[in-house]
Amino acid sequence: MQRSLAAVVGLVLVLSSCTAEPVASPPKPKLTGWPAPSAEPSRSAASRAAQVAMPEAAGRRRLAAVPAEPASCVQPGPEADQMRAVPSTSPSWRTLWVDERDQRFWDLDVAADGAVWVRSTWGPDEEETGVRRWHRGAWRTFDREPIEYGSQDEAVALSATSARQAWVFGGTTLIGEELRLFLGTLHDDRWRDVVFTDEEKFELDPETMDARGAWAVVGPTTLLRWTGKTWRREELSSPISILRGEGDTVWGLGESGAMRRQSDGWRQVRLPELGGPALDSLPEPWMTGLAVLGPDDVWAIANVGWGVDSEEHEGEPVRARPVALHGNGSRWRCVWGPMHRTFGQAEPDGRGGLWVVAETRSKPSELWHLSDGRWTKEGLPAPQGRYAHPEQLVKRPGKAEVYVSGYVSEAEDPNASFDQRDRGALWRTK
């Protein structure tokens, strides 16, 4: 789940390899293009972070957009359900961990080497944040100090490429200054941060921030890509909020359509309009998930609602329904789900199918699975007397393993405020 900040911030580029666990005589990485932070920052310093400006974007062609085919997907009547999900006959998930401390697990990333990274929150307003790594059956915590002593920092997105490489993206309010974006790199078991100083030149919005592996979305049309040595900035012609894929197969998704990365540039792939019968107002579509199964095999996940946030319908079942759009490289096929349910994040299962977080207004979310054209549904296991609340899905690169971060709670309602009896939890497919 992405957590909002209060302002627009700006961002990026170039950082060294980072090591999160000590090895014999490690090489000293270099910070290319930025002033190197001191080995032992003074506590009397105004800030322990280097101040940097955003570099120029890498030159890539803007390719002609692919028109939507079909132009629109008209949904069936309110009683129809083209997914027809049935309860799973055998559990697909097992619990890896339920923490002993009062916290919730939110952002999640899984590296190819099996290292699982999570961002946890705790406190009455979940204002406290930590970064933890699950690797080889054990947890390790990497505490973050304030960027400036007395500053207010909020991590928004987390990404990792190995047990020794991880980053956080977020915003910081430095004393006497406006909110700015920071990028934190784990280096020698410590966080090394840079704060970006020229965000006024860019329309970067933390509401759209997302990160996974070697990629980060830091604004509606601005991406960061880790090359193995440095961060590179890439600009898009159309805004996105989700970026997914493995290797050279990378897609982005936003409210105005999809973006596909090709060898010669980014190409917009327009989506069909999601209209159809309205209850008593115009339909309101929004995109929530993206599962990239192959170069010409992608699922875009969306919802369509009517007055979802209206106080007039507060307390009623959610006035929305999900739709899954499958793209084969030339056209889209829309599959509509039942009313009074919405879909969240989606992730490939590594076997040609996908998982989706299926939400209701006041009940724990389920996990729906599409395999060989058939939808099934199930909940996550939880200790007796508690409810499992999933937050993020991540597939391990190169493996048919999917992980879920979240928490278990005595509260059935996923919208309930943080409770000291909530416990961060981690699950994995069997």
Residue pair 83/335 in contact (Cβ under 8 Å)? The answer is yes
Report the pLDDT value the prediction gives residue 310, as an integer from 0 to 100: 63
Q: Which two tokens stand for residue 402?
A: 């999917």
What span, in angstroms and rounded, lies between the C-alpha atoms of 178 and 116?
Answer: 33
Residue 33 falls inside a structural domain: no
Report the pLDDT value the prediction gives residue 104, as an integer from 0 to 100: 93
User: Strands across the sheet with 190-196, in order?
Assistant: 50-52, 190-196, 179-187, 165-173, 152-162
Q: Is the dihedral of CA 116, 160, 163, 102 positive or negative?
A: negative
Query: How many structural domains comprise the chain?
Result: 1
Residue 34 falls inside a structural domain: no
Residue 147 falls inside a structural domain: yes
3-state helix, strand, coil in the chain (%, to 5): 0, 50, 50
Residue 3 falls inside a structural domain: no
Report the pLDDT value the prediction gives residue 130, as an integer from 0 to 100: 87
Domain housing 375: 50-56+67-429
Residue 367 falls inside a structural domain: yes
Report the pLDDT value the prediction gives residue 148, as an integer from 0 to 100: 81
**Which residues of the chain register pLDDT less than 50?**
1-46
Report the pLDDT value the prediction gives residue 279, as an integer from 0 to 100: 60
Residue 2 falls inside a structural domain: no
**Residue 381's CATH number:** 2.130.10.10
**Percent of the chain whose predicted confidence (pLDDT) is above 90:** 57
Owner of token pair 């974006």: 181
Q: Which two tokens stand for residue 407?
A: 């928490």
Report the pLDDT value the prediction gives residue 24, as an integer from 0 to 100: 35
End-to-end CA distance of the chain: give it in Å, rounded. 24
254-284 pLDDT per residue, tens: 998 999 999 889 999 999 999 776 565 678 8
Report the pLDDT value the prediction gives residue 206, as an integer from 0 to 100: 63
Residue 103 falls inside a structural domain: yes
Report the pLDDT value the prediction gives residue 57, as an integer from 0 to 100: 78
Report the pLDDT value the prediction gives residue 10, as an integer from 0 to 100: 36
pTM, entire model: 0.86
| Helix count and strand count (H, E) for the chain | 0, 33
Residue 118 falls inside a structural domain: yes
Helix (H, G, I), strand (E, B) or coil at 422: coil
